[in-house]
C-alpha cells in the first residue's frame, strides 16, 4: 500500500498542470483492484488464518498516464494524455488517432469468441451452505455478532476472450459501477451495482446495498417485489446496521459532524434484481488522502457484517474458499486526488488456464432463514452465470 501512495505522491506533484477535472471522471492516475484478502492489512487485529487459494494476492494496481473516454451512446470519444506521459506513448496514441493500426499485444490475450466449456457448478453443497447460515445464527443469538455476509463459490471452464464475456454480462445487466481488469494471468469481470467510496473535491459518498428481491415477470409481480423489499422489517434492519457501520468507518477519516445520511432505504432496480440502497456522505478531513480513506473503509461493511473484524473472522472460518477479487474493490485514484471505488460483488475471475469463478452471498441476521438465504445467494448471480452459459 505504501508503494502506491509513494508513486501517486511523486506523480501528483508533477501533474499540477492546470488540467483540473471538474466532471469527476478519471483522466490519469492509479487504478486497479484491492482484493478482499487485502483486508488482512487494513482491518486492525484481523489476520486470515486458513490456507485458502487466492487469485492475485492482495490485488493489482497500475499507473495510467492516458485514458480513453467513450460516451454512453458510443457516438463520441476523447483521449486525455497526461503532461508526464512518455514521448513513445504519446507518439503511439497520435498514430492511432490518425488511423494507424493498433500494435499487436499479448496483454489482451485470446481474441477468439468466449464460450463456456463446462457450466458453473457450486463448490459447496447446499446443505453445507445452510449449515454455515445456522452456525452464524447461533453466534448472533450468543451476542457474538449482529450480521455476517456468507458467500459461496461457483466454478466453470471456458475458452476465448474474457473481455467478450465482460461485455456480454454488462449488456445483460447494465450497472453503474462495473469494471474489467486484465492482470495478465487472470482477469476481473465486475458487474457491480454498489459504490464503496467516491471522493471528489474532498466530498465523500458511500452507497451501501443491503436487501435484494428478484425482478417479476409481470409489471404487477415486479411492483409487488419492489414494495415488499422497501417495507420488509428484516431488510430495513439489515440495511440500517450496515449504514451505521459505514458511518462509523467514515467518522475516522471525515471532518467531525460532517457525516450524514441524506437518503435511507431507497430501491434501485436493475435487470435482474431490486436492491435496497442508502447514501452516506461526509467531508474528507484535512491531511487525509482519498486512498487513506479507501483503506480505512476497506473492505466494505455491506460484504463483511457487523462488527466488521469479528464478521471477517467468522467468514474466514466458515467459507471453504478464498474470495480473491470478490468483495474487494475496483478503484481509481487520479492525480488530482479524487477517487472512486466499487464493492466487487457480482464479480467473476477468469484464469489463463481456462477456469472461471463466480461468487454469490447474502447477509445473515437474527431472523434469517437458511433456505431463503441460500436461494438469495443464487438469485444475485444466476442471471450472470446463465448469460455466459448461453453464449
Q: Is there a catalytic annotation at residue 210?
A: yes
Q: Which of 194, 238, 373, 376 is catalytic?
A: 194
- Could you give the CA distance from residue 48 to residue 45 in angstroms, rounded to a whole number? 10
Q: Is there a catalytic annotation at residue 205?
A: no
Residues 77 and 70: beta-carbon distance below 8 Å: yes
Q: Which of 3, 52, 104, 210 is catalytic?
A: 210
Residues 366 and 148: beta-carbon distance below 8 Å: no
- Could you give the CA distance from residue 56 to residue 323 in angstroms, rounded to a whole number? 11
- Could you give the CA distance from residue 350 to residue 200 in angstroms, rounded to a whole number? 32
Task: Give the residue numbers annotated as catalytic, written as ranges.
Answer: 194, 210
Amino acid at each position: 500500500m505504501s508503494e502506491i501512495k509513494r508513486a501517486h505522491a511523486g506523480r501528483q506533484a508533477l501533474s499540477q498542470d492546470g488540467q483540473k477535472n471538474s466532471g469527476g471522471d478519471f483522466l490519469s492516475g492509479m487504478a486497479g483492484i484491492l482484493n478482499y484478502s487485502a483486508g488482512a492489512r487494513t482491518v486492525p487485529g484481523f489476520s486470515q488464518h486458513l490456507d485458502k487459494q487466492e487469485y492475485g494476492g492482495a490485488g493489482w494496481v497500475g499507473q495510467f498516464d492516458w485514458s480513453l473516454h467513450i460516451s454512453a451512446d458510443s457516438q463520441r470519444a476523447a483521449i486525455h494524455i497526461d503532461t508526464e506521459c512518455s514521448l513513445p506513448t504519446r507518439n503511439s496514441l497520435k498514430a492511432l488517432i490518425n488511423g494507424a493500426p493498433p500494435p499487436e499485444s499479448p496483454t489482451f490475450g485470446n481474441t477468439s469468441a468466449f464460450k463456456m466449456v463446462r457450466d458453473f457448478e457450486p463448490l459447496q453443497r447446499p446443505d453445507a451452505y445452510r449449515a454455515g447460515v445456522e452456525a452464524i445464527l447461533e453466534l448472533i443469538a450468543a451476542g457474538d455478532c449482529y450480521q455476517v455476509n456468507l458467500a459461496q463459490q461457483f466454478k466453470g471452464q471456458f475458452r476465448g476472450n474474457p473481455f467478450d464475456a465482460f461485455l456480454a454480462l454488462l449488456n445483460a445487466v447494465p450497472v453503474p459501477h462495473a469494471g474489467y481488469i486484465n492482470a495478465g494471468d487472470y482477469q476481473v469481470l465486475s458487474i457491480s451495482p454498489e459504490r464503496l467510496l467516491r471522493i471528489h473535491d474532498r466530498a465523500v459518498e458511500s452507497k451501501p446495498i443491503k436487501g435484494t428481491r428478484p425482478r417479476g415477470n409481470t409489471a404487477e409481480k415486479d411492483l409487488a417485489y419492489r414494495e415488499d423489499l422497501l417495507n420488509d422489517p428484516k431488510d430495513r434492519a439489515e440495511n440500517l446496521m450496515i449504514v451505521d457501520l459505514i458511518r462509523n468507518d467514515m467518522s475516522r477519516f471525515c471532518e467531525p459532524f460532517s457525516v450524514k445520511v441524506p437518503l435511507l432505504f431507497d430501491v434501485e432496480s436493475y435487470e435482474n434484481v431490486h436492491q435496497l440502497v442508502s447514501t452516506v456522505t461526509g467531508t474528507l478531513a484535512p491531511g487525509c488522502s482519498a486512498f487513506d480513506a479507501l483503506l480505512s473503509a476497506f473492505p466494505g461493511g455491506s460484504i463483511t457484517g457487523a462488527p466488521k473484524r469479528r464478521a471477517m473472522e467468522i467468514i474466514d472460518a466458515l467459507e471453504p474458499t478464498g474470495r480473491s477479487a470478490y468483495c474487494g474493490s475496483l478503484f481509481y485514484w487520479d492525480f488530482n486526488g479524487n477517487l472512486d471505488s466499487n464493492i466487487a460483488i457480482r464479480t467473476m475471475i477468469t484464469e489463463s488456464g481456462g477456469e472461471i469463478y463466480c461468487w454469490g452471498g447474502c447477509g445473515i441476521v437474527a431472523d434469517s432463514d437458511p433456505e431463503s438465504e441460500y436461494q438469495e445467494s443464487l438469485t444475485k448471480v444466476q442471471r450472470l452465470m446463465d448469460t455466459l452459459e448461453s453464449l
